[in-house]
Amino acid sequence: MKALEIKGLKKSFRSNFLIKKYRILKGIDLDVEKGEIYGFLGPNGAGKTTTIKCVLGLLFPDQGEILIDGKPAAGAGARSRIGFLPENPYFYDYLTARELLFFSASLFNLPAAAVHDRIAALIHQVGLSGHEDLKLRKFSKGMIQRLGLAQALVHDPDLLILDEPFSGLDPIGRKDLRTMILTLREQGKTIFFSSHILQDMEMMVDRVGIILNGSIRRQGRLSELISRSTQYYEVVCAHISEPVLTTIQANFACRDGQYVITLASDADINQVVESIIHNDGRIVSVNPVKMTLEDIFFNEMRDNQ
């Protein structure tokens, strides 16, 4: 059973004068396995937040089906298993971190006897120990994100949905948040997060879905998407003269006292390696150069234009 399934999701909005309909989601199909980190990647305006709002019940889709643990997402039982961190969390400035978490816990009717221990554990987990009684108006952006994650976890949800969680964070804040998300996966949580920051996504996700103009263009395990996307091959060699190497393969460069030959495909690798060895050269390495998530994303962007 999937943690989250979205089938044929469509959503449109009308203009201010109710004349023209704008199709935002054009039939989204995706699924999230239990216990994985799923990255929902797309540029601003692609439909990421609209999809998330439909999952949470904040928007009603025109068409499609959304299931959480095999049950309709519209049900109270399904929604109670979701924790949500919006892109720009806003909390009452004059509450403290502890007060906010007590308020959040009260919304889920958590047993009073367990709330104190739960909140203390969450404050420690997100790295806010020592700041639990500080007014939120004095919190930095990174601290607010940490607190937002704590309130999303207060009822111990199975599925955590994060909308652009790295937006506006400095490098240290992004690293800390990545570490927290990876720790949550180790604890058995399922994490679905949207982002347009490719570097953070590539360092974390198990599977990825690329959304462009309201449609899913690519979906799958990140390792498989990258492994199937070899750009070229590099043969690194040494102990051979440039004139001799030129007769073997003209497309090479010198790097740190070694020569790097670039081959468009693997068809010529054996011939090039044998020729280098035959001329008393030494093979240092033969490397397939894979596409990064950024390369895959921009290829999809280019194909979509």
Res 300: pLDDT = 72
Is the model's pLDDT at 42 over the cut of 90?
no
pLDDT in tens, 76-110: 888 888 999 998 888 888 999 999 999 998 888 88
CA 62 vs CA 12, 67, 73, 170: distances in Å: 7, 16, 15, 38
The answer to the question of residue 170 being in a domain is yes
CATH number assigned to the domain comprising residue 106: 3.40.50.300
The answer to the question of residue 60 being in a domain is yes
**Tokens coding 217:** 């263009």
Count of the separate structural domains present in the chain: 2
Q: Using an 8 Å Cβ cutoff, are 61 and 9 in contact?
A: yes
**Together in a domain, 181 and 269:** no
Q: Using an 8 Å Cβ cutoff, are 176 and 142 in contact?
A: yes
Q: Using an 8 Å Cβ cutoff, are 56 and 161 in contact?
A: yes
Q: Using an 8 Å Cβ cutoff, are 32 and 194 in contact?
A: no
The answer to the question of residue 295 being in a domain is no
Res 18: pLDDT = 64
The answer to the question of residue 222 being in a domain is yes
Last residue of a domain, one of 210, 226, 242: 226
Domain of residue 242 covers 230-290
Query: DSSP labels for 111-142?
Result: -HHHHHHHHHHHHHHTT-TT-TTSBGGG--HH
Hey, how many other C-beta atoms are within 10 angstroms of the C-beta on 166? 21
The answer to the question of residue 296 being in a domain is no
**Together in a domain, 200 and 52:** yes
More confident residue, 298 or 174: 174
**Together in a domain, 106 and 251:** no
**Together in a domain, 243 and 122:** no
**Together in a domain, 263 and 158:** no
**Tokens coding 244:** 């001799």
Contacts of the segment 187-191: beta carbons below 8 A, 24+ positions apart: 188/35, 189/35, 189/157, 189/158, 189/159, 189/160, 190/3, 190/4, 190/32, 190/33, 190/34, 190/35, 190/36, 190/38, 190/158, 190/159, 190/160, 191/36, 191/37, 191/38, 191/159, 191/160, 191/162
**Together in a domain, 195 and 246:** no
Q: Using an 8 Å Cβ cutoff, are 212 and 43 in contact?
A: yes
**Together in a domain, 88 and 69:** yes
**Together in a domain, 220 and 245:** no
For the chain, what is the mean pLDDT?
A: 88
Is the model's pLDDT at 26 over the cut of 70?
yes
- The closest alpha carbon to 48, from 159, 163, 217, 145, belongs to 163
**Together in a domain, 124 and 183:** yes
Q: Could you give the 3-state DSSP secondary structure of residue 253?
A: strand
The answer to the question of residue 298 being in a domain is no
